[in-house]
Amino acid sequence: MAEGIRQQAHRAGRVDLAQTPTPLQPMPGLSRALGSAAEIWIKRDDCTGLALGGNKARKLEFLVEEARAAGADTLVTIGAVQSNHVRLTAAAARACNLESVSILFRGDSAPAGNLLIDRLLGSEIEFLPFGLDESTHERVDVAVAAILERLRTRGSRPHFIPSGGAVPAGCLGYLRAAEEMAHQVRQKGIEVSDLVVAVGTGGTLAGLLLGVDALRLRWRLRGISVLPEGGAAGAGIAPVESLARDAGALIGYDFHQERVDWSVAFDYVGPGYGVITPDAAEAIALSARCDGIILDPVYTGKAMAGLIALVRAGAIPRGKAVVFLHTGGSPALFAHPELLDLLPTG
């Protein structure tokens, strides 16, 4: 990364929310269990600290600063009932002496997992009259606009953060994370061929794309989608490459997509968002039983299923390392007891 870009990335306005650097550590048990000639490593962004951690803490450092600069006193965001982003936005609000409003798609409202933590944080919960699978960009926009207007009418100064924090400023969190990982990789003397990450709204992948380009890293970025193809676009989220380009523009950097080897796979979504698959259940069990790593059934379980399939197919070169970005989400595990029915025995 050119020194000027490095300085701008670090000077971009942000608040201190995430405990970084997070660990980069091997998964020797999983490597052995898969008989892999490649090393499996894990980047522990489940350890970012804020309200049980997760990748959104890095994004919210920039997004909360935007809200404060705009004079907001209330953070408003939207997501599924078990949204990690909603949980961490509510926590970021409390950490920064702001109010919080969580707009949730209709779903199981039992106080478990992330929803339990949302309520513990005192976030004001607004349930939409439709589920995530029934949503459209237009329908969501109308509902959000009505809630924001109601908040303004009562005297609040709300700042809306779109689903997943998938906006250019939020992507800068993973430009910084890419630099952090590159430094750790050099320190540990490992040669990374692939980086695997769960993809929902795409802001994390966009930030990594920007970082890999800016740092001229020779990593293949393998996104494993947890939404059906077209799901993010249908909700009004900008394409990953557009997010990366616009994030780069914030710091005066011209993003070159063609310099990065990247892809997004939709093979591990299963019946839909938040629906546990047998492959995800196997990945969760293997990670826990081999290395004591806890994954969730919505995001990281499906992403790890993708990594395991890559390793089993021999897609990682011998002697190279594949890094799994653990984006957090473990609270959602406690809202899905049906996972037990899919776990392998033994």
Q: Give me the phi and psi of 174, to 5 degrees please.
A: -95, -10
pLDDT digits (tens, 9 = 90+) for 215-244: 999 999 999 999 998 877 766 678 999 999
Average pLDDT in the 68-82 region?
96
Query: How close are the terminal C-alpha atoms of the chain, in Å?
Result: 47
pLDDT value at residue 3: 46
pLDDT digits (tens, 9 = 90+) for 124-157: 999 999 988 888 889 999 999 999 999 999 999 9
Average pLDDT in the 187-209 region?
97
| Rounded Cα distance, 274 and 268, in Å | 11
The catalytic position among 31, 36, 83, 330 is 83
pLDDT value at residue 238: 83
Q: pTM for the whole thing?
A: 0.94
Closest to 311 in 3D by CA, of 219, 186, 193? 193
Residue 177 reports pLDDT greater than 60: yes
| Rounded Cα distance, 196 and 9, in Å | 23
Average pLDDT in the 262-269 region?
97
pLDDT value at residue 340: 87
| Rounded Cα distance, 265 and 148, in Å | 35
| Rounded Cα distance, 80 and 17, in Å | 23
Structural domains of the chain ordered from first start = 3-53+167-342 (3.40.50.1100), 56-165 (3.40.50.1100)
Length of the chain: 346
The residues facing 79 across adjacent strands are: 104
**83 is annotated as an active-site residue:** yes
